[in-house]
Amino acid sequence: MHRIAVIPGDGVGPEVVAEGIKVLEAAGEALNIGFEWRRYPFGAEHYLSTGETLSEESLKELSACDAIYLGAVGDPRVKPGVLEQGILLKLRFHFDQYINLRPVRLYPGIETPLKGKKPEHVNFYVVRENTEDFYVGAGARVRESGRVELEVVRRLYRLRFGVEVEKEGSEEVAFQLGVVSREGAERVIRYAFELAEREGMSRVTGVDKANVLTHAYSLWREVFDSVAGEYEGIETEHTYVDAVTMYFLTKPEHFQVVVTPNMFGDILTDLGAQIQGGIGLAPSGNINPEGVSMFEPVHGSAPDIAGKGLANPVAQILAGALMLRELGEPRAAELVERAVAETLREGVRTPDIGGRASTSQVGDAVAEKLRELAEY
């Protein structure tokens, strides 16, 4: 029996979560796996009515669960960042979910914008560091009245570039600090190599921008080389993030496991979602291998199509497969992934990927296909 905290969230979140649970229940019935669903209301409606995003008491309750199954957060009635930081980032940081795992896989029958590329060309993992880099929230906006802070900025420019920076009148300065620790880099890079070994892959690509952001990413690169020395037989390479964006488009078949700092991973995986056919097909896992992990689609809440039955539930369903694998249910995870692949191959798809099926029709089809596959 797996205790799963369910946070449907906003917009299309409740719709796609319902289909994800439908498919997970089908897998559970087929393989005698039990689920105890603990539902939580966190999202825009809860915030607007209570002023609360996520309470400390709720975090204690969530810590008693085996995993968190999240739909999406975000609502035009709430200032951008309030829900994302107050719920999504708070959960990631509180449970130290330092791995963001995003498979990039092109399914048969799904079109990619990459000319001539087929499923065998697009099938790799992006392992994104999830709790450091520029997402630690260290920074500020400083007006002219903040003379101490402005003097710090002036001194930084003088030290680094040998130039004087004058800030007068009502001008404003904003700065954001990125943080890369040796421990933080090592644990995510090691996870990437372990993933490569587990999946029978032979290449790990390290992403950075060490030629410009030298302090933070030279440490990242140094740790990568140190960890790589422990894994004989796995080919390694360093690639600047701007080069990786080009290679994702021109030779995606080159990549097997890509490991990247937080911000670069955030951007690259959205590109990865597009080359696999669309963001509605892209799942992600926020993983703490020793703690509570959280699983969600890459897409947002899409309030413009909420309640219309147009949302693609595949990313949420595949996030459920990632969750099953993390819970130690690889057979069930494989069944879900195969059922999705067969359903898409047969043309049961939502409008965003060229089909006519509704959100619930896709969920029904995947659940039924899973039951068929489980019989053999």
Among this protein's residues, is 266 annotated catalytic? yes
Low-confidence ranges of the chain (pLDDT < 70): 137, 139-154, 156-157, 159-173, 175
In 3D space, the residue among 261, 226, 255, 219 whose CA is nearest the CA of residue 98 turns out to be: 261
Give the residue range(s) of CATH 3.40.50 domains in the chain.
Answer: 111-132+182-275
Pick the catalytic residue: 66, 90, 209, 240? 209
Sequential DSSP letters for 99-119: EEEEEEEPPTT---SSTT--G
* Residue 165 CB coordination number (10 Å): 13
Rounded Cα distance between 316 and 319, Å, is 5
Give the residue carrying structure tokens 């995510």.
Answer: 188
The residue written with tokens 């199954």 in the block is 69
pLDDT digits (tens, 9 = 90+) for 222-256: 999 999 999 999 999 999 999 999 999 999 999 99
133 belongs to the catalytic site = no
pLDDT of 181:
92
- Kindly name the residue from 66, 231, 247, 270 that is annotated as catalytic: 270
Predicted local confidence at residue 177, as pLDDT: 77
**Backbone phi and psi for residue 172, each to the nearest 5 degrees, phi listed first:** -135, 145
Query: Considering only CA atoms, which of 285, 328, 318 is closest in space to residue 31?
Result: 328
What radius of gyration, in Å, describes the C-alpha atoms of the chain?
22
Quickly list H helices, 63-209: 82-83, 90-94, 147-161, 182-198
Q: Where in the chain do CATH 3.40.718.10 domains reside? A: 1-99+290-376
Residue 371, pLDDT score: 97
CATH architecture of the domain 1-99+290-376 equals: 3-Layer(aba) Sandwich (3.40)
Q: How far apart are CA 259 and CA 193, in angstroms?
A: 9
- pLDDT for residue 59: 95
Catalytic residue among 69, 98, 125, 135: 135
Judged by phi (left if over 0) then psi (alpha if -120 to 50, else beta), residue 162 lies in left
Catalytic-residue membership of 115? no
| Angle in degrees, CA 48, 52, 54, rounded to 5 | 130
**How distant, in Å, are the alpha carbons of 75, 290, 319 from that of 287?**
25, 9, 12
Nearest to 300 by CA among 71, 76, 126: 71
Whole-number Å distance between alpha carbons of 59 and 40: 11
pLDDT at position 133 is 81
Cα-flanking dihedrals φ and ψ of residue 8, to 5°? -65, -35
Please state which architecture CATH assigns to domain 111-132+182-275.
Answer: 3-Layer(aba) Sandwich (3.40)
Distances (CA, A) of 263 to 20, 93, 131, 269, 272: 28, 15, 10, 10, 14
Question: How many of the other CB atoms lie within 10 Å of CB of 246?
Answer: 11
242 included as an active-site residue: yes
361's tokens: 């029709």
pLDDT of residue 169: 42
Catalytic residue among 242, 251, 304, 308: 242
Verify whether residue 79 is a known catalytic residue. Answer: no
